[in-house]
Amino acid sequence: MKTLISSDWARRLKILLAGTALSLSVINLGAGEVWANSKNQIIAQQIQTLQQSERRWIQINLSKQRLIAWEGNKVVYGAKISSGKKSTPTRIGTFKIQSKLKSTRMRGRGYDVPNVPHAMFYEGNYGIHGAYWHKRFGTPVSHGCVNLAPKHAQWLFKWASLGTPVVIHK
């Protein structure tokens, strides 16, 4: 069979199954081999790659409602979080810190919160930040962001730099 594009190519597919989106990466290796990786497999591979490096990175486990700060394969900090509730979930995937603000106002449907401390945005308006307005860490209560107690957010803000990888999984 004649190949229309180069022998090495990758394509991402999104499939909707019973209301649940499944993300696949399909890789053609040229010799008729095709690999399909679920989002969970991609995240697991990214974690393994980061643990084999010396890089600083942030892991957010939504099932455990925990954030862990890593330097390669060494844990350097951990804290309870509050992620998004079912109606406003926290996105799963691999991201990088894109901007940092010591304090900001956050507005959205049903909320308007001034002076949000130590905000680090990793995708659009999704970020990791301090939350002084509740103490329900360990429970999903946010509008999609990752909430930390202000003292934990401050530590993470000082430790992480722009470009720091953020891995979010269930």
Q: Name the one residue in this structure whose structure tokens are 């999609």.
A: 144
Instruction: Identify whether 129 is a catalytic site residue.
Output: yes
Alpha-carbon distance of 127 to 140, in angstroms, equals: 15
Alpha-carbon distance of 169 to 66, in angstroms, equals: 11
Instruction: State the DSSP string of 82-145.
Output: B-B-TTSPPPPEEEE--EEEEEEEEEETTEEEEEEEEEEEEETTEEEEE--S---TTS--BSSS
Q: Which residues does residue 166 pair with via DSSP β-bridges, in sequence order?
A: 58, 95
- Phi, psi angle pair for 151, to nearest 5°: -65, -35
Catalytic annotation, pick one of 129, 134, 143, 152: 129
Instruction: Identify whether 118 is a catalytic site residue.
Output: no
Catalytic annotation, pick one of 118, 143, 145, 152: 145
- Phi, psi angle pair for 23, to nearest 5°: -105, 130
Active site positions, annotated: 129, 145
